[in-house]
Structure formats: C-alpha cells, structure tokens
C-alpha cells in the first residue's frame, strides 16, 4: 500500500510517517505501507484557493504527480480538487490532519468513492491557550506597552484610573461557540474567577451546565459580557454572525477577541467603535482577508492586538494532528469505521476496492 505523506513545514512529512509507522506496525504483510513524501510550501507561502477548494497549498499538477500509485494520502493542506481526484484512480482515502477538510472537494471525493477523514480537536489546547493570551494582552494593553517601551516611551499613564485595564477575576466572559476549544477556554476562565456565558445552539445544555457555564442566547450574551471570545465554526449560517447590530449590543468598553475564523466577524464597524471607545479593545488572530492589506483600517486603530493566525502553532498540535490522522488510516486499512469521517456515505465496501471505477 503506497501512502503519500503530503506534509508542509508545520505538519511535516516525517511527523506523518512516524505516526503512521507506529499505528500500522501490526498490519499484515500485504498492507505494509510504502511511503512517498511531498513537502508543500505552507506556511512559508500563504495558503489560499486552489481550483475548487479553499485554504490549500501547492498545485494540482504537483499533487497529481506525487499521487501516482498511491492509495492513501495524509495531508494538511494538499489541494484535492475534482481535477486531482479524477486523475488519481487508485486513490481510496484522503486523511486530512486539520479540524475540517476545507482543502478537499468533498462532493468530488464522494462521487469517486474516496473516503475523507479529518482531525477535530488537534489544536484545541493550543488555540484555547492562545485565546486566553489574546484576552489578557488586550485587557491589560500588554502589546502596546511593550512596543512603546521598546521605542523609549514609558507608559506610566496606563496607571491612571481612566486608562486602567480590567481583570478576568469577576468579569463576565461570553464564548460564542462551545466546542473543544471553547470548553478549555471556559475551564481556564473559571479558574481565573470569571463568570462564563456560552452561546452554541448545538451544545448539550446538561454538559455546559456541568462545566459551570451558563448557556444563553447570543443577544443576551453580548449585552452581559465584559469580554467576548469567538470560537464558532465558520459556515453559511455563522458568516458575519457578529455584525454591526450585534456589536451595538456590547457594553461600552467591552473587549472582543476573534481567534476562530475571520468570516465570523464584520470588520467594517470596528475602527469606528474603537475610536469612539464603544469597544474598549480588540484582539485578532484571524481576518476577513489574510494577510490584511497595508491600508487595512485597523492597522492604526487604537487598542488593537493582532497576530498572524498563530493560535494553533505549537509543536504539540503538529504531533497530535499526525497521530489522529494516522489512527484514521489504521481504521481504514483494518476495515473499521472511521472515527471522524467527512463523507460517511462512502462505505467500507466501496472504499476498500482495489481501484475506483
């Protein structure tokens, strides 16, 4: 069985191969894997749309050439478009080492009988810790004070009452989205002494209550929260979930954090809200356009903390992604149900054929 490890400079091919070798060590001889590597340019080159998919790295022709003779591909960023899948008749599985297979044309994979899996929760600890870091940096002006001090400016004025920050201890923090990341964030906030609210129409109310978190409607969460942090998945339903009308519900001086997806937030009203003081601070790791252009209005808005989409960038995330992905390949080759199928309609019978029709 030839497996293409289409890694990049984060989830590297050697990490994928090591995880696969450990997972597949006990397979029968006829399924012993033969590995081929491909290194895609991300993150040294930004990802983007390729063919019919989004957030991909590399080219279709490059991937088609590397897939020759491969039955399985493990990847984070490779562009599995209709063109690539149609040109790879031996391909039976695409195991994506990220939280959603946005680099795969799922409809095309399903039509061609190719199973697709993904790796939910791979970056949950990293992303949760980063969100807390963004909150603290925005609430206490850490990055502003750091930059000014390095430029020879001592910001003693930040000790003035009017300029003072707020604490998480005793603050009401609203989490929009309560999946794996939001749940870890809530646990940390509770330890800080925060009152935590959550809005997630898909969350189990009993499980949320058991975490000591209050499940509320979105408008109620926004009206009550000193800090709001976004942790929802981006869908057509959640695009611009937080728009100008929703932002108007926030208490004056509230802090807003987005480390989930840029499309959740309407960025257009934010510069005005920051300059007027209606919004106290803003912390961002994701954007409507990545990277933001040089004339982006928030570059010179006050009280903004920014990072270049780094929430999941830990070595542990890369190892976890490889391990989750390798476990799915092991299930596939043993004929077991996948734990994280993206197209469950591709059944074991048709995915284990020698080649696709």
Contact 56, 301 (CB under 8 A): no
CA–CA dist 297, 244 (Å, integer)? 16
Q: Which structure tokens are listed for 4?
A: 């293409």
Q: How many CB atoms lie within 10 A of CB 113?
A: 20
Catalytic residues: 261, 290, 309
Answer yes or no: are the C-beta atoms of 98 and 76 closer than 8 Å: yes
- Rounded distance between C-alpha atoms, residue 264 and residue 251, angstroms: 20
């Amino acid at each position: 069985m030839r497996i293409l490890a289409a890694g990049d400079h984060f989830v590297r091919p050697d990490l994928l191969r090591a995880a696969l070798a450990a997972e597949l060590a006990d397979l029968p001889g006829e399924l012993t894997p033969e590995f081929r590597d491909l290194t895609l340019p991300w993150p040294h080159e930004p990802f983007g749309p390729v063919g019919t998919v989004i957030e991909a790295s590399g080219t279709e022709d490059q991937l088609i050439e590397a897939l020759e003779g491969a039955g399985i591909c493990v990847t984070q960023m490779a562009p599995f478009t209709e063109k690539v899948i149609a040109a790879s008749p031996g391909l039976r599985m695409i195991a994506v080492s990220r939280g959603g297979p946005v680099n795969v044309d799922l409809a095309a994979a399903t039509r061609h009988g190719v199973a697709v899996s993904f790796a939910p929760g791979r970056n949950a600890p990293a992303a949760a810790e980063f969100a807390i870091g963004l909150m603290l940096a925005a609430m206490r002006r850490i990055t502003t004070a750091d930059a000014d001090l390095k430029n020879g400016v001592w910001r003693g004025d930040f000790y003035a009452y009017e300029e003072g920050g707020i604490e998480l201890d005793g603050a009401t923090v609203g989490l929009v989205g309560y999946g794996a990341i939001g749940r870890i964030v809530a646990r940390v906030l509770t330890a800080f002494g925060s009152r935590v609210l959550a809005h997630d129409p898909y969350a189990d109310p009993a499980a949320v209550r058991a975490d000591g978190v209050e499940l509320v409607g979105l408008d109620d969460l926004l009206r009550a929260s000193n800090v709001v942090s976004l942790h929802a998945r981006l869908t057509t339903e959640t695009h611009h979930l937080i728009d100008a009308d929703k932002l108007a519900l926030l208490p004056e001086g509230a802090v807003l954090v987005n480390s989930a997806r840029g499309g959740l937030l309407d960025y257009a009203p934010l510069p005005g809200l920051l300059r007027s003081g209606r919004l106290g601070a803003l912390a961002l790791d994701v954007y409507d356009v990545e990277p933001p252009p040089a004339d982006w209005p928030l570059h010179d808005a006050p009280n903004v903390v920014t990072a270049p989409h780094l929430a999941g960038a830990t070595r542990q995330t890369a190892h976890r992604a490889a391990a989750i992905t390798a476990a799915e390949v092991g299930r596939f080759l043993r004929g077991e149900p996948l734990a994280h199928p993206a197209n469950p309609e591709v059944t074991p019978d048709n995915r284990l054929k020698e080649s696709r029709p």
